[in-house]
Amino acid sequence: MNKFIFPLALCCPPVVAFSTSQLPLSDKVAATFPKINTNCYIIVNLDTKVVLTEKNSQHVVDSGTFRTIYGGQETITLYEMSLLATGEGIKFFESPMSGVGCACKYKNKHGAMFLCLIYGEATQFEAYKDCAQVNKWLDQFYIYESSETEDVKIPVLYGIRNISKTGCAKKNFIMSINLNNRINKIYRYRTIMKAPINKNEDIGYIMYYTVLFKNPIVTKIYNTEYIKKKIWFKCVYDSVKYLIFGS
C-alpha cells in the first residue's frame, strides 16, 4: 500500500450513521449494477458502515406501512429508513403515494452483510425480483480487515509529554473480487500541538482511496490521553528550545 504524507441524546444509544462521503461508485463498478425497476434505493454494507450505492435516498417519501414495522416519521428519506431497518430476512411495506418497497438483510457468499432497501415498486413480486438481482450482484464483494497500525507521532509544546499518543478506528474495507484492490492512504494532521490537549481530541484524519469508490473513505486521528500543560517557566524553556532547534 502506498503512503502519501501531507502536514496539515443522553438516555438513548446513538444511531450509528452510515458513511456516504465516499460515493459514488467508480464507473467500472457502477456499470455492473443490475437494471432494476425502481429508481429509489439504498444499499449499505453493515460490516463497514458505508453506503455501497444509492439513488434518490435523500428524497423525502411517504413511509406508509414502513413506520408500522420499524417506526419513524410519516415522511422520511430512504437513508433514514436504512438506519431504522432491523431484523433478519425480507420485509415488505407500501404506501398509496410511494408504491411498494422492501428491506432485506443479505449475507453474501463471502460472509459480508448488507442491507438492501428499495421503494417505488409496482408489486411485492417486482420488489422481491429486484432485491434478488441486487443480492446476486452483491456476491462479488468481501471484507478486507487491515492489520496495519497507524503510527502518527506529533510533537507537543508546553506539555508534560512532548509527543502525542494518537489512535484511529480500526479499518475494515469493502472490496470486490473483480478489481485490483489497492489502497492508497493520505495523511493530514497537525504537525505540532500546544498543551493542554484533551483526550480523544481530533488532530487529523486519514483518507483511504480504493478503486471501488470515486471519493476516499475518511477516518479521524485522535489523541488517546490528556496532556497537561507544564508550569510557566518550563513553557518558556520549551519556547526557546523550539526557536533554536525546531520541533
Tens digits of pLDDT across the chain (247 residues): 444 444 443 344 445 699 999 999 999 999 999 999 999 999 999 999 999 999 999 999 999 999 999 999 999 999 999 999 998 889 999 999 999 999 999 999 999 999 999 999 999 999 999 999 999 999 999 999 877 667 788 888 777 777 887 888 768 999 999 998 889 999 998 888 888 888 888 889 999 999 999 999 998 888 888 888 877 656 666 666 666 666 5
**pTM of the full predicted structure?**
0.82
DSSP states along 126-151: HHHHHHHHHHHHHTTEEEEE------
Phi, psi of 74, deg, nearest 5: -65, -40
Contact 142, 175 (CB under 8 A): yes
What gap in Å lies between CA 149 and CA 133, rounded to an integer? 38
Residue 244: per-residue pLDDT = 63
What gap in Å lies between CA 156 and CA 164, rounded to an integer? 6
Phi, psi of 129, deg, nearest 5: -65, -45
3-state helix, strand, coil in the chain (%, to 5): 20, 40, 45
C-alpha angle 210/219/27, rounded to 5°?
A: 25
The residue written with cell numbers 446513538 in the block is 14
Reported as a single tens digit per residue, the pLDDT across 124-149 is 999 999 999 999 999 999 999 877 66
- At residue 237, the 3 state secondary structure works out as helix
Reported as a single tens digit per residue, the pLDDT across 145-189 is 877 667 788 888 777 777 887 888 768 999 999 998 889 999 998
What gap in Å lies between CA 16 and CA 14, rounded to an integer? 6
